[in-house]
Amino acid sequence: MAKVVKDLISLELIGLHSHIGSQILPLAGFEAAAARLVTAAVMLRDEAGIVISQLGLGGGFGISYVPADQPKDIQVIADLLVSTVLRESKLNDLIVSKISVEPGRYISGPAGITLYTVGTIKPVTIAGGQTRTYVSVDGGMSDNIRTALYGAQYTVAVVSRAPTGAPMLSRVVGKHCESGDIIVRDCYLPDDLKPGDLIAVAATGAYCRSMSSQYNGTPRPPVIAVSGGLDQVWIRRETYEDLLVLDQG
């Protein structure tokens, strides 16, 4: 394909790009991918006379969704990628003038928090006679499909008051009447939780709003920015009129 592009006067191949996955916490894969991209650039130069000056090293840098996730500092990631490209380029007498990355989740993920209002609370006996309490909220797979699609894990806490109850095994579920309508599969919430409490699900800034839907005719919630004690609506709440706006007649 690179040779085809080279022969087209309307196109100029100036760079190579790689993307190895998503929500990756260990850095070894990123280092290996950067080294291989340099190798590919050297091969194109030596075998096809194509000069590659830019490398896109992709994204997929993991963030902390639960306490067990230990993401690396972005400066550590940047230093590793730059040193890898410089080292491999020097060994092969290659000049790379530009390196780019795609840290979308790393930036937006931790910045987002989803607030839900607690509705019905229902204890259910599970295997071994243990009790898991199902906590239904006023959202669900329409605003966060990641748990249903990927088995994503999240941290959740009560934020409307200081709870004093003992931890109870819980599952936060949505209002869409689907077996997969789960927001947080396994967590511990206080046993004095009650309808009307606000709970917050952390690190929802990436791939939640962008993957949200009007599932079963559900208007999407607003996006509100908060900084320095001030708030501003960035995306307003959808209305039922919005759901019907495309209807003709």
Please identify every residue annotated as catalytic. 177
Contacts 24+ apart (CB under 8 A), 117-122: 117/196, 117/197, 117/198, 118/193, 118/194, 118/195, 118/196, 118/197, 118/198, 118/199, 119/175, 119/195, 120/195, 121/193, 121/194, 121/195
Confirm if 95 and 89 have CB atoms less than 8 A apart: yes
As a whole number of angstroms, the distance between CA 145 and CA 114 comes to 13
| Token pair belonging to 7 | 């022969």
241 CB burial (10 A radius; 0-12, 13-18, 19+):
exposed
| Token pair belonging to 186 | 């396994």
